[in-house]
Structure 1
Amino acid sequence: MTSEMAGTGSAFGRVGIWSGALHLSRVDDTGGKAVAEALAELEELGYGTVWIGGGPTPGDAAAAVAATRSITVATGILSIWNHTAEEVAAAVSAIDPGARRRFVLGLGVSHGPMAPRYAKPYSAMTAYLDALDAAEPSVGSGHRVLAALGPKMLELAADRSLGAHPYLVTTEHTARARATLGPDALLAPELTAVLDTDLGRARSTARAMLGRYLQLPNYTANLLRLGFTEGDFEGGGSVRLLHALFALGDAEEVTRRTREYLDAGADHVALQVLTADEGGAGLPRAEWRELAQAFGSGL
């Protein structure tokens, strides 16, 4: 890896924000203004990275970079089945060179039920990385991360990118991923937080989201490798599973859970804030502010 970002998590900060609502290329002028203001506030609050979730496009990434000044912008995660490597490389090359250094391309193979062309995911990812390397200009290993859960994809992430951005994982998975990646590769897991001190209600909010992901075999297979059972997947997730995958409670609890991932080997934690009324689809700016205050200099 030859980029200035290579071999370090410092450009990402300790804590970032993951959101599926930061799509500047898909909203009208009013929505675009709200997203741009949210991006600017996240930068001002001191978060190290903003992760654009919800099936981001190259256009979403370029727009977010243009709307910010210093924060790292990453896709979390762009599906290799939706955009060709050549298309992505062209979009990245169009980003202003002065800002391009803080853009990170997060890539993933998605899931069979979501990608009609899904086949041989490891081989497909390897070929995609080859195409990015061959593009002119290339999107080299120092400006990309992989959505990796299993050992083979984690090894590929260490060999061919900055590192891994696993989604919906436990602290045990984080420790295992660090062992597989080695000491130098970036490890930036996503962690979903529900800021609600009513624990029953917080669990219900989490289950409403988790139930969708428990329909996807890549996630359930990973959880089975970690020792969970099919019974843990019933009803949107057992209490044991919920508390292993989410941060549920007040801001202090979220900071405590985040530290657990960092202590397990993560360089950076990408926090997704889930609210009952928005179902993860909105811009929970009040919660982002509350968490920034709770983390303080820990961001």
Structure 2
Amino acid sequence: MTESGLIIPSLDDMLAAHERIKPVIRRTPVRVSDHLNDLAGCQLFFKCENFQEPGAFKVRGAANAVFGLDDAQAARGVATHSSGNHASCLSYAAKLRGIPCNVVMPHTAPQAKKDTVRRYGGVITECEPSTSSREETFARVQAETGADFVHPYNDPRVIAGQATCAREFIEQVDGLDAVVAPIGGGGMISGTCLTLSALAPDCRVIAAEPEQADDAYRSFKAGRIIADDAPKTIADGLLVPLKELTWHFVSNHVSEIFTASEQEIVDAMKLAWRHLRVVIEPSSAVPLAAVLKNKGAFAGKRVGVILTGGNVDLDRLPWINA
């Protein structure tokens, strides 16, 4: 579907993406914790996308883009810019298809994420930790390689792939009243909106964002995109701003955006490690932090929480190096 010059992915695009990527992704499990339910005052269901092979949900959108290329396009490879998880997931998908992958990453990206990209064969070009530097460096890399640009989130192929997560979620858990996911650029939230607006329209979509990188929250309240160039937060996967395509979904389908402080994010990360017994990165802890901070909004509800990734530098845990 085309709207105001944008190519808006549809439910059919999501369904086609799910069939395309099934051979290379995992149908991730859903975990629960009685203790976290008691803390939150609601029933929480955690969709563990950190269990994907590259450690993040972004493999869904990356695989849909890579395996949707024709042979001539694929031969030129793919390229992107990313703070980490999209880079590793695109490298993984490209490796599976046997094509080159070039990625631009901020030099401040966690070493664990850089190591994952290289393990999957991705070639890294480092840049300064700002949106402008990232995009300028990428333009040079793409011009040199001629690769197909797979944007981390502002790409209909990527959003259609991310939308498959919510499809699985509502198949695994009946009667969800809300689904909460982190928001940075908005790829996962957009995919969640795409699926739930069509298949579970009574289920609210709620985004969670760090207070120190709250441009999506401010955009939501202002009714227009407000972009920060270089926000700073331990939730390194949520540093990028909304773009036109993801803003379409956020402005039309998101019910609310809640924010959480750095300490609340760290506390939620610890709780998930301790009581779900799964490794998640700070960006993945933001939704739980937001739920615990806004208990009244979720009281007595059945709430789905998407744990988006688990790529953590174990030598630089936030509660050790705070």
TM-score, length-normalised on structure 1?
A: 0.30
TM-score, length-normalised on structure 2?
A: 0.28
